[in-house]
Amino acid sequence: MVITKTRSPIRSNIGLKAVMAVTGILLVLFLILHMLGNLKVFTGETSFDHYAHWLRDIGTPLLPSTWYLWIQRTVLVAAVLGHIGSATVLAMRSRAARPVAYAHRRKVHVNYAARTMRWGGVIILLFVIYHILDLTTGHLNPQGDPSNPYGNVVADFAPERWYVTLFYTLAVVTLGFHLRHGAASAFRSLGQQTPKGEQRARAAALVFAVVLCAGYLVVPFAVLTGLVA
């Protein structure tokens, strides 16, 4: 009798790739909603601050105030850990499976993408930590008033603090490259496995990444140029 050993899904590469995909989708959903929320800055101070306060009250009166926010934060932290954890294990396995590098060009291409994703991910993580200390807790913000998120944003990206806008721009562009690669892989898996399908997946991923980057960057640049004050 032949006994076949089956690996639990989480221990197989397919399982880990599923974890990467599900956590990636959750993070992208947050990014889309956060970008749309940020654009409310163009509707004025009262409206933006009202929106920010509403975020803390989602789910009330069923849930006590800020509970929904903490549930969302827990899910996001779990998604970030799952995303990084599965990416690390997959990278280690792929390295262990091929101790000798390929000699032909495709490997060079794949290595470049993998390196970009790895370092891009690290930069995005460091940015998010800075960003939370800046606009959520207010510790690194020149105003840092939790009751006035609009004022915090305006103080943050003021023209004399142009270097903050520069730093945010670099972080958001890094995020754009990360998303373009991640989205292209996702669209490739979902679409037709043909050269045409590959081309479409790349184009759709590029459009998605550019729209998201522009949606984020328009806010600091509007403050920098005095459009939002």
- Which x/- pattern, by CB under 6 A, does the window 148-167 give for ligand HEM? -x---x--------------
First to last CA, the chain: 76
Question: Could you give the CA distance from residue 205 to residue 216 in angstroms, rounded to a whole number?
Answer: 17
Is 47 among the residues that bind ligand HEM (CB under 6 A)?
no
Is 172 among the residues that bind ligand HEM (CB under 6 A)?
yes
Is 73 among the residues that bind ligand HEM (CB under 6 A)?
yes
Is 220 among the residues that bind ligand HEM (CB under 6 A)?
yes
In 10 A of CB 11, how many CB atoms? 10
CB of 171 to ligand HEM, least distance (A): 6
Query: Is 145 within 8 Å of 152 (Cβ atoms)?
Result: yes
Q: How many residues bind ligand HEM (CB under 6 A)?
A: 20
For ligand HEM, the closer CB: 62 or 129: 129
For ligand HEM, the closer CB: 29 or 108: 29
Is 184 among the residues that bind ligand HEM (CB under 6 A)?
no
Using CB under 6 A, which of the segments 82-90, 108-116, 168-176, 190-198 binds ligand HEM?
A: 168-176
Given candidates 216, 222, 224, 228, which one binds ligand HEM under the rule CB under 6 A?
Answer: 216
**Residues written for the chain:** 229
Question: Could you give the CA distance from residue 135 to residue 148 in angstroms, rounded to a whole number?
Answer: 10
Question: Could you give the CA distance from residue 25 to residue 29 in angstroms, rounded to a whole number?
Answer: 6
Using CB under 6 A, which of the segments 105-113, 115-123, 202-210, 213-221 binds ligand HEM?
A: 213-221
Question: Could you give the CA distance from residue 102 to residue 112 in angstroms, rounded to a whole number?
Answer: 13
Q: Which 74-133 residues touch ligand HEM, going by CB under 6 A?
A: 124, 128, 131-132
Question: Could you give the CA distance from residue 151 to residue 168 in angstroms, rounded to a whole number?
Answer: 18
Cα 152 to Cα 30, 138, 144, distances in angstroms: 21, 8, 6
Given candidates 135, 140, 158, 206, which one binds ligand HEM under the rule CB under 6 A?
Answer: 135
Phi, psi of 49 (to 5 degrees): -65, -35
The DSSP secondary-structure symbol of 103 reads -
Which stretches of the chain bind ligand HEM, using CB under 6 A? 34, 38, 52, 55, 69, 73, 124, 128, 131-132, 135-136, 149, 153, 168, 172, 175, 216, 219-220
